[in-house]
Amino acid sequence: MILKLTSNLPRPRSCNASRTSARQHAFTLVELLVVVAVISILAGLLIPVLGSALATVDAAQCASNLKQLGLGLNLYANDFNNMYVRASEDIFSISNLRRWHGVRGSTTKPFNPRKGPLVDYLGEDGLVKTCPTLRNTADTGFEAGCGGYGMNAHFVGSRCWTLGMSNAGYRACTKSHEFKRPSKTVAFTDTAYVATIDGREQLLEYSFAELPYWADWTNPSQPGSGQPNPSIHFRHDAQANVLWLDGHVSAREMDFTIASYLTHGGATPSKWDLGWFGPEDFSLFDNQ
């Protein structure tokens, strides 16, 4: 009896069959180019959308920072007989060592935000949170710690509006009940400043929201002649977040600016989205 052995193992394919199968499953150069083109088109469509979404998130975080700052401002006033924190202890003398966002030991040093007057009113760490859109600022330490936000220094943060732009005006405080329209009065807003460093313009943090015009300091409630350098920074898709004195935040577009800085190196504010919103007067800053 002869037994016939059989096997279920697959029969080996020839080399030609392997090559044929590989050709059938491999991408051709044309197919690869088509895939790359499709990916490029999708990336071109998605990147602006993602960028816009991230910018929206940053603007929302900035608005939240400002609301926290407004809460701290009002908590401070509650503890100090309704007086708002001073924007600056003095600005026209050699000291200039204390501002709303920090203190320093000398004018050659940066302000220390951990010793600022609002530290006890700004949450767990006591620091002003930095606007996430304010990136690539020059590391000078000039106003570090203000978070990229500027105070309405001449009306909310001082009594310059009654005592003139002087050390006496800055050292005196304004009380909350003196403002007739808190929902239409700027408390803080997005700010920045431009300085010429090493021969080129660079953005800095800045802690004051400059007025559209200098006041006539013999009659401080009225506009005078000339304009300060603009510091309101329209960094959120051409808008600036504004904290109003009643605690709400809104976004405003730029309404006007100037061609170049009148002092401090002649920088070009329009290049850096610096200017003002609202009418060319004090109506959004004063206590009327």
Cβ atoms of 209 and 283 within 8 Å: the answer is no
Residue-wise pLDDT tens digits, 172-198: 999 999 999 999 999 999 999 988 777
Residue-wise pLDDT tens digits, 49-105: 555 567 788 999 999 999 999 999 999 999 999 999 999 987 666 577 889 999 988
How many C-beta atoms lie closer than 10 Å to residue 125's C-beta?
10
Band of residue 204 on the pLDDT scale cut at 50, 70, 90:
confident
pLDDT at residue 221 greater than cutoff 70: no
- What is the torsional sign of CA 284, 122, 146, 113? positive
What's the whole-number mean pLDDT along residues 205-234?
A: 84
The H or E element that residue 190 is part of is strand 186-190
The overall pTM is greater than 0.75:
yes
Q: Within a 13 Å sphere around the CA of 262, how many CA atoms are in the beta-carbon half?
A: 10
pLDDT at residue 229 greater than cutoff 60: yes
